[in-house]
Chain A
Amino acid sequence: MGGGPVIRARGLEKSYGSLRAVRGIDLEVGEGEIFAFLGPNGAGKTTTVEILEGYRHRSGGEVEVLGVDPGRATTEWRARIGVVLQSGQLEPLLTVRESLELYAGYYPSPRPVDETLEVVGLTPQRDQRAGKLSGGQQRRLDVALALIGNPELLFLDEPTTGFDPAARRGAWGMIANLRQLGKTVLLTTHYMEEAQILADRVAIIKGGEIVALGKPSELGGAAAGRTSIRFRLPAGTATDELPSAIAAKAQEADGRLQLATETPVDDLALLCGWALEQAVDLGDLEVSRPTLEDVYLELTGGEAGLT
C-alpha cells in the first residue's frame, strides 16, 4: 500500500446555498489507524464522511481516499471501502446469512461469511431474518455487510447512537476486533467516551471546522495540561487563611474550592504542608486531570450530546 495516507483532505469545503456546512477541513488518516470524528449533531461530521464515501460532491478543496478522488468513484474503488451509514434499515425479509451472501456477491474477493459473522458476534442469529433482530444486532449486521467485501477502509457513521449501555459496550468490543483485522477505520460519534476508548486519534469538529486534533490523551492543548485540585475547608476556616499562592488561584465551585494548575506537585505540597501545620482537614480532596469530556465541552461550548 506504499504507506501513504489512506485518507487525505486539504481545505475541504461544502456549502448548501448560503450554509457552509464544512469550512476547510484538513485531515490525514494513516493505514491501520482508527480515527474518530467527534462533535455535536449538525457539526458537519456526516457531511464530511459522505464526501469521503463518494456520496456527496464537495464545494471546494482536495480529497483523496485510497489514492482516488471520491467524487470520481469507480466500481473498483467501491470494492475497497466498506460503509455503515448513520441511519437506514436492512432488507428485513432476508436472513442474516442471506444478507451477507447477497452482499458477498457484489465484491471481487469477499471474506468468508461464517468468519465475518464471528467478527461481529452474530453467529447465533445467522438464520434469523434481519427484521427480527434487535437494534444492536441490526447495527452489527450492517457492520458485517460493510466488512464482507474485505475492504481496506471502513466508514462507521455513529455506529452506537441510540444503543443502551450494554449494547454500546458490545459494539465497542466488535470495533476493537476490527483493529486486529488491520482495517483503517473512520468513525463518527458524539460520545466522548466512545472516541476515547476506540480511537487512535480524534478530531473534534464544530461548526464545520476541526477545533482540536490529536490522540485522546493529548487533546485540548493548554486546557488538557491543567490539573484540577478540589477540596473543602472545615467550617470556621476562611479562604484567606490559605497560603497566598493557593488562595490567589482558588475559586468556589459547588461548595468546594477548586484550583486549576499547571504545577500540581508544587501546589499540592504547599497545600498539604499548610494543612498539616494548621491541623486542618481538607475534606473531599480530589486531584483530577481533565477528561476528554471536559475538553470537548470546553471546545464545543457545552452543546454536547451527553445523552
Chain B
Amino acid sequence: MKTGQLVLHQFRYDQKTFWREPTAVFFTVALPLIFLFIFTSIFGNEATIVDGQRVKGSTYYVPGILALALVSATLVNLAITMTILRERGILKRVRSTPLPPSVFMAARMGTSTVVTLLLVVVVTVLGRLVYGVRLPTDTLPGLVLTVAVGTAAFSALGLALTAGIPNENAAPAVTNAVVLPLYFFSGVFIPLEDLPRGMRLIGDVFPVKHLFELLLTAFNPATRGSGIELDHLGMLVLWGVVGLVVAVRTFGWAPRAESGRGAGIRWARRRR
C-alpha cells in the first residue's frame, strides 16, 4: 500500500476507537460546547475591550471556546491517548509490524484534525444561530490558516508532552496541569483586559494565547482584511517546530517501565 492509503487505513480504525470511547468524546467534544453555553450565558451580554474596541461577550467567547476545543482535540487528546497506548504495549506491538511510525502518527493527527474541524463548524454555527455572533466570512482565509497551523502545532506539542508523562494514571493530570493555567493566562475563560499584567505576560510566551488572538481576530466584527496575523502565526509555527523536535527526539514506544533510564535499555532505532 502507498503511504497515503496506509494513513487512510489506519485513520479509519482510529476514528472507530475515538468515537467508541465515551470519556474521550465527552471531554473533547461535549465539554467545549458546555463551556460555550456556560460562559456566554453568564458573560454574553457584557462587553469587553479588544484592541481599543468594545466587543460583546458572546463574540469574545466563541473564539475562546474554539481555542479550547482545538487544544483539547489535539494536544490533550494525543498526549492522553498516546500515553495510554504506550503503557498498554499497543505502540510496541505496532512497531513490530511493517507500519511506518510516521504513518501511525499521521493517522492519529488526522483524527485530531477531523475532530477539530467538526468543533470549529459546530461552535461557529451555534455562535451564529444562538448568540448572533458574526460568521467569519471576510476573515475566512485567516481562520482556515489559523486552524491548520494550530492543529499541526498543538498535535506536535501533544506528542512531545507524552515523554513527560510517566504512566497511564498520570496522563490526564499532567496534561490538564499544563493546559488549564494556560487557558486562564491566555484569556480563554476570563477576558484579557481583566487579567493582571504578569499573567498576560506569561500568556504571551505560550502558544494558546496566540491561537486565541488569531481566532478572536477572525470573529471580531471590527477586523478589516483577511485576518491573517503573521506575528501570532509565527509564534504558533515556532512552538510547533519545538514540539516536533522534542517529539522526534523523546517519543517512547515501549511502556515506561521497560524503557526507563533505570533499566538502561536502548531501543533499536528503525532505519528506513
Contact = CB atoms under 8 A, between A and B. Distances in A.
Contact of B9 (A71, A105, A145): A105
Contacts of B271: 72-74
Contacts of A72: 271
Interface string A135-172: 00000000001000100000000000000000000000
B134 interface: no
Interface stretch (B15-23, B109-117, B184-192, B226-234): B15-23
Contacts of A192: none
Nearest to B270: A73
A88 B13 contact: no
A98 B98 contact: no
Contact of A56 (B21, B97, B265): B265
Contacts of B255: 88
Interface in A35-73: 53-57, 70-73
Contacts of B100: 75
Interface stretch (B86-94, B123-131, B174-182): B86-94
Nearest to A14: B265
Contacts of A149: 97-98
Contacts of B89: 85, 87-89
A262 to B, nearest CB: 46
A107 B254 CA distance: 22
Contacts of A54: 96, 268, 270
Nearest to A148: B97
B173 to A, nearest CB: 22
B224 interface: no
Interface stretch (A76-84, A198-206, A230-238, A295-303): A76-84
B48 interface: no
A106 interface: yes
Nearest to B96: A83
B264 A16 contact: yes
B92 to A, nearest CB: 6
Contact of A93 (B16, B92, B99, B272): B16
Contact of A102 (B13, B92, B96, B263): B13
Instruction: Choose among A83, A88, A108, A145 the residue with the greatest number of B CB atoms under 10 Å from its CB.
Output: A88
Instruction: Choose among B10, B96, B98, B255 the residue with the greatest number of A CB atoms under 10 Å from its CB.
Output: B96
Given A17-B264, A56-B265, A78 B96 contact: yes
B193 to A, nearest CB: 44
A71 B270 CA distance: 8
Interface string B235-267: 000000000000000000011000000011111
Interface string A87-106: 11111011000100111011
B268 A88 contact: no
A98 B13 contact: yes
Contacts of A98: 13, 16
A174 B26 CA distance: 41
Given A55-B267, A56-B266, A73-B268, A90 B93 contact: yes
B268 A93 contact: no
Contacts of A90: 90, 93
B98 A105 contact: no
A57 B95 CA distance: 15
Interface string B1-27: 100001001100100110011000000
A91 B90 contact: yes
Contact of A88 (B17, B90, B265, B267): B90
B96 A16 contact: no
B96 A81 contact: yes
B93 A16 contact: no
A297 B17 CA distance: 46
A81 B98 CA distance: 9
Instruction: Choose among A72, A98, A101, A105 the residue with the greatest number of B CB atoms under 10 Å from its CB.
Output: A105
Interface of B: 1, 6, 9-10, 13, 16-17, 20-21, 88-90, 92-93, 95-100, 254-255, 263-268, 270-272
Interface of A: 16-17, 53-57, 70-76, 78-79, 81-83, 85, 87-91, 93-94, 98, 101-103, 105-108, 145, 149
28 contacts: A55-B254, A56-B265, A57-B266, A71-B268, A73-B271, A74-B271, A75-B98, A78-B98, A83-B93, A85-B89, A85-B92, A88-B255, A89-B88, A89-B89, A89-B90, A90-B90, A91-B13, A93-B20, A94-B16, A94-B17, A98-B16, A101-B13, A102-B10, A103-B97, A105-B10, A106-B97, A108-B1, A149-B97
Given A91-B17, A93-B21, 20 more contacts: A17-B264, A54-B268, A56-B266, A56-B268, A57-B266, A57-B268, A74-B271, A75-B98, A75-B272, A78-B97, A79-B97, A83-B96, A85-B93, A89-B89, A94-B16, A94-B17, A105-B9, A106-B99, A107-B97, A107-B98
